[in-house]
Amino acid sequence: MNCPRCGVDLVQTSKGDVVLDVCPTCNGIWLDRGELGKILNEFKRVDTALDEELSYARKARYFDDDHYERYKHKKHSFMKKIFDIFD
Report how far residue 29's alpha carbon sits from residue 38's, in angstroms, rounded to the nearest whole number: 15
Task: Read off the pLDDT of each residue in 55-74 and give the average, rounded to a whole number.
Answer: 61
**Angstrom distance (rounded) from CA 17 to CA 56:** 30
Can you give the pTM of this predicted structure?
A: 0.52
Convert the pLDDT of each residue in 16-54 to its tens digit.
Answer: 788 889 999 999 999 889 999 998 888 888 888 888 887
pLDDT of residue 1: 84
**Predicted local confidence at residue 56, as pLDDT:** 72
> What strands, in cross-sheet order, belong to the sheet with 11-15?
11-15, 18-22, 29-30
pLDDT computed for residue 11 by the predictor? 94
